[in-house]
Structure 1
């Protein structure tokens, strides 16, 4: 695409560098064409990045600052992203596939993380503990040191911002491994760090394959904390490697999230939740509304309505979709599209009814029709495995207990939702749903301020909100025996 540089380098210790593993080709999923090449890091590159971050940590270049000064640098990174949104968004769309307006929202969301956590820098405070006469006891929160952050391909700018902002705010030096499918747009995070005045080595951003650079980062003996968002198998592998060095992790591993729609729900309003819940970013969202569990009295009406939503979506190259609306871009790759299509076909083979969609589109690029499956039962694979695509599975229930049991019937527990006019019923559901976040009458309610993380195989630890900060610090207690 015109205007996109043909070759992009890694950013290590304040310098733009080539990769020891050569280069990889980044593909535009909206057309299938090669977009650019990116430097590919090997284990030696990872080691250099970790050592640079370790040097910064040990020097006190971040920790010796007053928190307000560190916070101002973090906020400045967000302002830099907003100032360059017109450059970042087209690159993000071209490498990831989402509509251009969605890419702009992602950059704005990334900037919001830097704004929010920059403002939190002065609030990470210890406490005084009374021990009686002759003693003074207090706690302090110290950064872990080197924070390794392994980023997913679905929101490469925003997910980097989510962990980088919290890590820097608390005084950690960071090494970011970008996703090999969508590494280009992260270059602006490195530029933002430079523009904000962060010392060289405080932020290192490199692209590498998971089995080489990712594995080297997770197992590195000088890494002190790991943040990972991605698949369950990879998360388990990272946690296993981290355990060898007794390194704590924050793992966000996806989900199979369900919206329970009761017989008194506002179906007109719920159609807007369906549009955003499963077709935003072509369904490639960890907290997507991938299941709808609807009361049997509304089932047929709801299926007809959600099929109408799916059929109304305009699907095509994201770079052509500049305005927000009923439109959807490509999936991130042919491989991801093929996997989703295969899972739909398997569901149909198990007895699910394909109401609409379910097939690749006859245009260049990684496009899948917005899909609705009905007559899905809890034992079907489609009801238990994450598709990570624009595929909605509709299930039915008779009683409240049955709805909760179906919603909780997967190994995941990232988010859940309940749609009802009965506040008592909504509160009961919120307490009983096995999920880290519960939406009532609006999917994706909340924001940067609200903690986010999973139960079960959706992972552990929390991102977003003040709760995230405690994953980036360790508590030290100081007990002093006074004389006299």
Structure 2
């Protein structure tokens, strides 16, 4: 680790927090108290103790942010040369890397994830800023051949003010994943972080300001979904909403946005299958699936939460996987275990309730299955890495998103049944196929109903590949060049010569 990260970790372990964390809303280029004047607490999931306070925003703060963003869009940002937008995004990427220690430690304190995973997120947001900085001056229109008597062309224009409603599992990653392409396209941004993980979104505002972004181009309003999220989604001056979260909340977001015919991008989670065929590299599949389901303690929308495996390798795979899962280290994220904390008591109780109900129904729990604590402190919200074997297709643990470190195993006989089982839920976010047969891989990739399919590596693709879901997993795509479409509208101009 760098000296900066070591110093931040040492401070956080000694004091339970970091000094100088922002505790106000950020509107029109400055920090200010919320309209209510009230504060909320955010807790460290690894200790169950508060480590920071933040502003409890409301609809008045939303209005102020929208006024600021609309003014910045009309008067400043859409007039800035694309090359200059690119420079600002790249400058922000440099500053993110320079502040890796504080950002990573704050993210671990806020979310509960291991420090190594927070550092991965810091690297990812820097690369997002670089990537979309590279795209900002390459958003080109096209001409349409109507014949020699006409000139017809399309122009890509920014949609205007955009709202970004963030999830609690990847706070800064989800913020920059949406904000970077929006800013590259010439839109202004209003961010509403989750109330359990508000800190790093606020910290990034100092970085954006230092990078030189004009006042109002990016605003952050913290608070609850009801007090901030709903009025933001329903505001008539917001022209696009990007939301990541639950199906139920996503439905409400879409209803609120529909009042003013506001476009939306919805990433609503999944119940993603990993199809393990008998001809795969079994040891590789075991190791890769450990990451697929236990990364961020399973609190990943696209986590490989269903193992669809051919019967003839089932016993060997389960034996190896269960042994590896039971040996994974658990603890406070700053001590860099493999498995960090669950983000909130509410989420921990949900996971435990679902697993307990499955056990009561007779589902075979071959690894984990219980709440636990940080072995050093005896505190925190933790759940053992869990494996549920030979689960029926209609069982709750197969059909519902658990959002925790719980893998459900479904046994199949052959590739046709594997396809049917893989498509056997209302979700369609991601999938992975483990096989040495490229024909089988491509055939399954073609027929699996998911927005993203990988082969022989679950989290392949990174920031460059489009990501989003089908069915209840939502619609629209983030990451890659495809994400820029969310924040552009097409204007056609046709001239008769």
TM-score category of the 2 structures, normalised to the smaller one: over 0.9
1:261-300 maps to which residues of 2 (within 5 A)?
Answer: 261-300=276-315
Q: CA deviation at 1:258?
A: 0.5
| Residue 160 of structure 1: aligned partner | 175
Q: Secondary structure at the match of 2:142?
A: coil
1:191-340 maps to which residues of 2 (within 5 A)?
Answer: 191-321=206-336, 327-340=338-351
| Residue 20 of structure 1: aligned partner | 35
Q: Distance in 1 between matches of 2:83 and 2:271?
A: 40
Q: CA deviation at 1:16?
A: 0.6
Equivalent residue for 1:45, pick from 61, 65, 82: 61
1:49-64 maps to which residues of 2 (within 5 A)?
Answer: 49-59=65-75, 61-64=76-79
Q: Secondary structure at the match of 1:233?
A: helix
Q: Structure 1 stretches (4+) deviating beyond 6 angstroms?
A: none
Q: Distance in 2 between matches of 1:65 and 1:184?
A: 29
Q: Distance in 1 between matches of 2:420 and 2:19?
A: 49
Q: CA deviation at 1:89?
A: 1.1
Q: Distance in 2 between matches of 1:413 and 1:344?
A: 23
Q: CA deviation at 1:134?
A: 2.3
Q: Which string of whole-angstrom CA distances, capped at 9 and with x for unpartnered residues, describes residues 191-244 of structure 1?
A: 121112111000001211011200000100110000000000000000011111
Q: Distance in 1 between matches of 2:175 and 2:266?
A: 14
Q: CA deviation at 1:55?
A: 0.4
Equivalent residue for 1:116, pick from 109, 131, 141: 131
Q: CA deviation at 1:349?
A: 2.2
| Residue 104 of structure 1: aligned partner | 119
| Residue 87 of structure 1: aligned partner | 102
Equivalent residue for 1:400, pick from 391, 415, 438: 415
Q: Distance in 2 between matches of 1:271 and 1:405?
A: 22
| Residue 476 of structure 1: aligned partner | 491
Q: CA deviation at 1:3?
A: 2.9
Aligned residue pairs: how many? 477
Native 8 Å contact 2:17 2:109 kept in 1 = no
Q: Distance in 2 between matches of 1:411 and 1:357?
A: 27
| Residue 171 of structure 1: aligned partner | 186
Q: CA deviation at 1:399?
A: 2.0
Q: TM-score, normalised by structure 1?
A: 0.97
Q: Which string of whole-angstrom CA distances, capped at 9 and with x for unpartnered residues, describes residues 154-207 of structure 1?
A: 110111010010000000011000110000111222112111211100000121
**Is 1:341 paired with 2:341?**
no
Structure 1, unaligned stretches of length 5 or more? none
Equivalent residue for 2:427, pick from 398, 412, 423: 412
Native 8 Å contact 1:77 1:189 kept in 2 = no
Q: Distance in 2 between matches of 1:470 and 1:2?
A: 39
Native 8 Å contact 1:4 1:91 kept in 2 = no
Q: CA deviation at 1:252?
A: 0.4
| Residue 75 of structure 1: aligned partner | 90
Q: Distance in 1 between matches of 2:80 and 2:130?
A: 18
Q: Distance in 1 between matches of 2:338 and 2:485?
A: 38
RMSD: 1.1
Q: CA deviation at 1:129?
A: 1.0
Equivalent residue for 2:368, pick from 357, 373, 376: 357
Q: Secondary structure at the match of 1:355?
A: strand
Q: Secondary structure at the match of 1:199?
A: coil
Q: Secondary structure at the match of 2:463?
A: coil
Native 8 Å contact 1:411 1:456 kept in 2 = yes
**Is 1:29 paired with 2:80?**
no
Native 8 Å contact 2:41 2:51 kept in 1 = yes
With over 3 angstroms needed to count, the CA separation of the structure-2 counterparts of 1:4 and 1:378, relative to structure 1, is farther
Q: Distance in 1 between matches of 2:23 and 2:276?
A: 47
Q: CA deviation at 1:36?
A: 1.3
Q: Distance in 1 between matches of 2:361 and 2:275?
A: 23
Native 8 Å contact 1:351 1:375 kept in 2 = no
Q: Secondary structure at the match of 2:77?
A: coil
Native 8 Å contact 1:350 1:380 kept in 2 = no
